[in-house]
């Protein structure tokens, strides 16, 4: 359908957003970004003739949704300055973009919006969301010129998402349910007093999503930090969890476009298992592997060991840690160790396979993921205990995991390294301010380090709907707390570890000047002769280079930095 290598010719950067095929299977819509700024152009291709249509729409947020007439699409437009997704637009093929119709505008600057289709393909949804509130509208996909109706009006601290199949709405909601619960409502009768509970709230299980089938319901749940897939028949006569054997792994449902089937596709991976796509028959309980990512260089998973361990941090909370290393690496306090973390936005850092990490593992490194608070590995409270006025728990957890790795001899105390990106770069900056001599080296990728200045400037992309994550520094208590940990503001005259900082000129999430000014201040303030390197990709954005091999070259730079520090020359 699309040869991205051809599309990318002559372009410094090329990334394709969502692919969306028309209901009649004749046309395909592609969103293409040539700058790395995550501002896409929407283009259309006739799959029968292999020719491009004249229609082009600029400044789109990643993709579009088709109406059932196969000629009308809905897409999201971004504010040109703040890059907030704020406008839903309708376009009819064969017409000028000047004739496009704005069908919804999100006027609250703390919210963004997007558009998607329902599982039944009968409805089109517009979802407005901020950190702690959601509002969904819906429209019949057969009536693209109709008016979107609100499913449930936004309220503070009420987050919900919906899907539709078999004439019924399914609602994932945190109403009276911190870890979310599942409810249903009938079409045309979906007031909140008419919602019927299907899966109740549980204190020890975080309900993170669901996939609908005509005869089955598949739930994605997280317990003790690990994802589980739960299968229920719609009649309620069977309810079971799919078995997974490794101590640390991650699993998610994959695209299964036809809901009228008993076969579920899912993707499984772990620190020792490459990405693998399976098909599971929910009726018979049998599964088959359809595909596994190929790993070159004689990779054998039996050569690696993975562990899931727990450590008690300074305030008595137990934090999980996922660890992997080569079977020949001795866990006796002599191995170099890389600790990775994120800890923001409720994003869980799951133990996924990385072929690039083999370069470290094969050279004797131990790799550890610290599942620190601020993520959502242990449920909603794990997130809430690592945000706003609890943000310092994130940094303390990471430091305590680092000391644990040394204490339990996973790490050589003189060769412990750390890495994080974006908000994880904030983590790294805060950690090395608190404990500048714990780590021998640190990597901060596209780091969000100038917290107070950025959050005071509501013209910068993403600022306004981040207040519920970090706080609004226009209010003094939040200002003071954010200032107390902001990596740029807390730089001192200390013996900082060797540091590699990366950024991208077109970064839409963390503007390039944040890491640049942080590095400049560190150059003036730091003591000693440790390395302090800033690498700016002048042709990319927040995600780095777009080409397959360019991405590996960027990663090779980071690993060369670590290997040099560890004294490994081969």
With tokens 């000028």, the residue in question is 96
With tokens 């018979």, the residue in question is 284
Residue whose C-alpha is closest to residue 473's, from 451, 490, 456 = 456
Residue 163 known to be catalytic: no
In sequence order, what DSSP letters do the residues of 479-491 get, joined into one string?
Answer: HHHHHHH-TTTT-
Count Cα neighbours of 312 within 13 Å in the Cβ-side half-sphere: 2
Name beta bridge partners: 539.
none
CA distances in angstroms from 507 to 37, 84, 468, 515, 537, listed in the order given:
6, 14, 22, 11, 10
Name beta bridge partners: 367.
324, 338
- Which run of H or of E encompasses 529? none
Contact yes or no for 522/491 (Cβ under 8 A): yes
Q: Which residue in 20, 152, 507, 546 is the catalytic one?
A: 507
Ramachandran assignment for 54, one of left (phi > 0), alpha (psi -120 to 50 degrees), beta (any other)? alpha
Contact yes or no for 464/458 (Cβ under 8 A): yes
At residue 209, the 3 state secondary structure works out as: strand
Name beta bridge partners: 231.
218, 240
Report d(CA 263, CA 284) in Å as an integer: 10
With tokens 């850092």, the residue in question is 349
Q: Which residue in 190, 326, 440, 542 is the catalytic one?
A: 542
What DSSP state is assigned to residue 497? P
Contact yes or no for 131/142 (Cβ under 8 A): no
Residue 371 known to be catalytic: no
| Residue 398 structure tokens | 């990471």
With tokens 């680092």, the residue in question is 402
Residue 322 known to be catalytic: no
Contact yes or no for 60/87 (Cβ under 8 A): no
With tokens 């290997």, the residue in question is 563
Residue whose C-alpha is closest to residue 381's, from 348, 346, 406, 354 = 346
| Residue 105 structure tokens | 């505008």
Q: Which residue in 118, 422, 486, 546 is the catalytic one?
A: 422
Report d(CA 127, CA 106) in Å as an integer: 10
Contact yes or no for 522/486 (Cβ under 8 A): no
Catalytic positions are: 422, 507, 542
């Amino acid at each position: 359908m699309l040869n991205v290598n051809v599309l990318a010719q002559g372009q410094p950067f090329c990334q394709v957003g969502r692919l969306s095929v028309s209901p009649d299977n004749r046309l395909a819509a592609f969103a293409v970004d040539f700058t790395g700024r995550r501002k896409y152009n929407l283009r259309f291709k006739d799959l029968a003739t292999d020719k491009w249509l004249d229609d082009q729409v600029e400044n789109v947020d990643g993709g579009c949704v088709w109406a059932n007439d196969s000629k009308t699409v809905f897409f999201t437009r971004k504010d040109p300055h703040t890059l907030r997704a704020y406008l839903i637009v309708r376009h009819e093929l064969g017409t000028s973009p000047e004739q496009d119709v704005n069908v919804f505008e999100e006027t609250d600057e703390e919210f963004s919006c997007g558009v998607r289709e329902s599982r039944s393909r009968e409805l089109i949804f517009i979802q407005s969301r901020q950190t702690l509130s959601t509002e969904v509208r819906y429209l019949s996909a057969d009536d693209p010129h109709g008016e979107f109706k609100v499913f449930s009006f936004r309220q503070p601290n009420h987050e919900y998402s919906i899907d539709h199949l078999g004439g019924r709405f399914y609602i994932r909601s945190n109403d009276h349910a911190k870890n979310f619960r599942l409810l249903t409502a009938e079409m045309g009768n979906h007031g909140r007093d008419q919602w019927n509970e299907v899966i109740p709230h549980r204190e020890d299980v975080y309900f993170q999503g669901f996939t609908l089938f005509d005869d089955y319901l598949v739930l994605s749940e997280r317990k003790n930090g690990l994802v589980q897939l739960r299968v229920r028949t719609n009649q309620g006569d069977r309810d079971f969890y799919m078995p997974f054997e490794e101590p640390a792994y991650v699993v998610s449902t994959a695209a299964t476009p036809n809901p009228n089937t008993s076969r579920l596709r899912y993707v499984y991976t772990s620190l020792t298992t490459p990405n693998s796509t399976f098909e599971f028959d929910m009726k018979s309980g049998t599964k088959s592997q359809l595909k596994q990512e190929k790993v070159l260089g004689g990779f054998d998973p039996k050569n690696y060991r993975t562990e899931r361990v727990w450590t008690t941090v300074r305030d008595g909370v137990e934090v999980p840690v996922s660890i992997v290393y080569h079977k020949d690496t001795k866990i006796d306090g002599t191995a170099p160790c890389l600790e990775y973390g994120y800890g923001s936005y409720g994003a869980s850092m799951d133990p996924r396979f990385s072929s690039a990490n083999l370069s470290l593992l094969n050279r004797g490194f131990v790799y550890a993921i610290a599942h620190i608070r601020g993520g959502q590995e242990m449920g909603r409270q794990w997130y809430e205990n690592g945000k706003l006025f609890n943000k310092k728990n994130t940094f303390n957890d990471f430091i305590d995991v680092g000391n644990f790795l040394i204490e339990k001899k996973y790490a050589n105390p003189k060769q412990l390294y750390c890495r994080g990106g974006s908000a994880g770069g904030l983590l790294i900056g805060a950690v090395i301010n608190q404990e500048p001599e714990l780590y021998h080296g640190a990597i901060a990728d596209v780091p969000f380090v100038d917290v107070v200045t950025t959050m005071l400037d509501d013209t910068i992309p993403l600022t306004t709907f981040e207040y519920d994550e970090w706080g609004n520094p226009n209010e003094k208590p939040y200002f003071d707390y954010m200032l107390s940990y902001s990596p740029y503001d807390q730089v001192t005259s200390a013996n900082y570890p060797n540091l590699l900082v990366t950024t991208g000129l077109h970064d839409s999430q963390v503007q390039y000047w944040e890491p640049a000014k942080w590095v400049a201040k560190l150059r003036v303030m730091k003591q000693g002769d440790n390395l302090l390197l800033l690498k700016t990709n002048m042709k990319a954005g927040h995600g780095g280079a777009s080409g397959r091999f360019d991405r590996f070259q960027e990663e090779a730079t980071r690993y060369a930095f670590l290997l040099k520090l560890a004294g490994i020359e081969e």
